[in-house]
Amino acid sequence: MTSCHVLLFLALFVFSANADVSIDCGASESYTDENSITWRGDDDIFQSSFSEVVQSSNTVSHVMSTLRVFTSRKKNCYFISVDKGPLLVRASFYYGNYDRKLSPPSFDLLIDGNHWTKVITSLDKLLYYEVVYVVESDATTICLAQTQPNQFPFISALEVRSLDPKMYSYVDPKYALFVRSRFAYGASATVRYPDDVYDRIWVPESGDKKTAIYMNLYFSEVTDLDTTQKRSFRIYIDNNPKSEPIIPPYGKVTEMLINYTASSNTSFSLVSTLDSTLPPLINAMEVFSVSDPLVVGTNSKDVGGLVELQTQFSVLQGWYGDPCLPSPYTWDWISCSNDVIPHVTALDLSSFGLSGQLPDFSSMDSLVTIDLHNNSFSGPIPDFLGAFPYLEELNLADNSFSGPIPPSISSNKTLKLVVSGNPGLCVSGKSCKPTSTDGTKSSPTPSSSSKKSSKLPLILGTTIPSFMIFWAIVAFILHYRRKKAAIAAITAGKAAGSNMPSQGQGSPGNVMMGKMGEAAANEGN
């Protein structure tokens, strides 16, 4: 499978580096079975799941006696590192009335963001599903997704086998092959590892008619023929030849691929050529159905941002598989676009109990909404939160952010910003104390401007009283001079007596007083 998004999950959850994997789901110990296959348990992998034991009275193999049940989240995934190239994955399910409810569930099985099949379990029937596909990264994810209320997905065993690069070389990496059947003609019992080094399961079968849309046929001569013997035949579909004459080699294998759209009435047969002295034979056959084109996966830059969040906060590490795909099973705390390669458009981590400082997830440049309210984030608000080109809503309420709001956020007039409930946060119109790197407020040395501001009350306190006293003295002097001039004028008027004109003709004394007052006023000024 493709896509960088399978790289977002931590190595802590990887089962194997470059080897085949056999997981006994629900078990806690490792062991080797009768087929020399080494199994390991998965008790240490999942936080929110349950290990259960079947209650069936039927005899089952050790690996089928336990199962892993998932009761939370839309999907739960196994993350397994593998070699690049063709891969065989087998998932097995045995309900066995583990919950004593006699109610076998149904659910979806997914691979790397693609729908694999709908699993419909039964009371006492073992089911297993196989898929062959080409992995183009170094990991794969197999997920189970709940589709019905109170019907919880479970799995009994998960097996991953790396195949030789030459095998299934005709498989287009854009498609997966879902195994419908695999027959070993002439066998009396099931054939698998170690007889098949790739641990494919071949069941006994006889007959010469099958329906299929994709078949892989294997031919090998079982005896060393003499010169008088010849085995030669063609493949016919609906009585029409579909191959050149096939002569099975002795001690080797000829592989034949048939890609054909078949119906329930399609016939498949092997017909001897005219020069053949022996009847046709077939050693084995695989029957596949072909998947829809496989998805590329969530945008790699968005996956990179989710990696940062999952690395920083352990509570988020329980989400595996493709974040956006398949679309019904997007991770609970994100929303995605409907593009062929989807983008993460919303991040909702409200009330997740997260604390500390935010890691840089600015690579998620398609985010429209970020909701981080009701957590315990601390320190300054990171500048990168103002760098998202399409961001419309940013909710940082009810945290412990401190310091000023970065200009990249506060200057965005189209952004709906919510920052209430952060006591240490400085908002527009309020003075802000600088915040140190550890998130605590410091007391820095005042700048020259702040020094001037701090001295202003003292300057006003000493200057304003002096100013008022000066003008009080000036007013006193003016008042004194005016009064003295008025007294002098009155005295002079009495001495002149009879020589003064009558009041009706004007009063020189009044004129003198006016002039003296004007002179005193000018002198005061």
User: 120-173: per-residue pLDDT in tens?
Assistant: 999 999 999 999 999 988 899 999 999 999 999 999 999 999 999 888 887 788
The two three-digit tokens of residue 417, written as one number: 């910003």
- Could you write out the DSSP letters of every residue in 258-298? EE----TT--EEEEE-TT-SB-----EEEEEEEPSPPP--S
Say if residue 48 is exposed, middle or buried (CB neighbours under 10 Å; 0-12, 13-18, 19+). Answer: exposed
- Half-sphere exposure (CA, 13 Å, Cβ side) for 516? 18
Q: Which pLDDT does position 263 carry in this prediction? A: 77
Q: Which pLDDT does position 160 carry in this prediction? A: 96
Q: Which pLDDT does position 138 carry in this prediction? A: 87
> Mean pLDDT by 10-residue block, N- to C-terminus, for the chain (525 residues)?
31 42 95 93 86 90 95 92 92 97 97 96 95 91 95 97 89 90 90 92 71 82 94 94 94 89 83 96 92 92 96 91 93 95 97 96 97 96 95 97 93 94 79 48 40 32 35 44 48 43 38 35 39
CB atoms within 10 A of CB 152: 17
Sheet holding 66-69, edge to edge: 50-53, 66-69, 154-155
* Angle between helix 508-524 and helix 448-496 axes, rounded to 10 deg: 160
Residue of 408, 403, 418 whose CA lies nearest to 388: 408
Q: Which pLDDT does position 262 carry in this prediction? A: 76
Global pTM? 0.73
Based on DSSP, count helices (H) and strands (E) in the chain, helices before strands: 4, 31
Indicate the residue type of 358: L
For 72-94, give one letter per residue: b (16+ CB within 10 A) or e. ebebbbbbbbbeebbbbbbbbbb
Phi, psi of 109 (to 5 degrees): -115, 130
CB atoms within 10 A of CB 250: 12
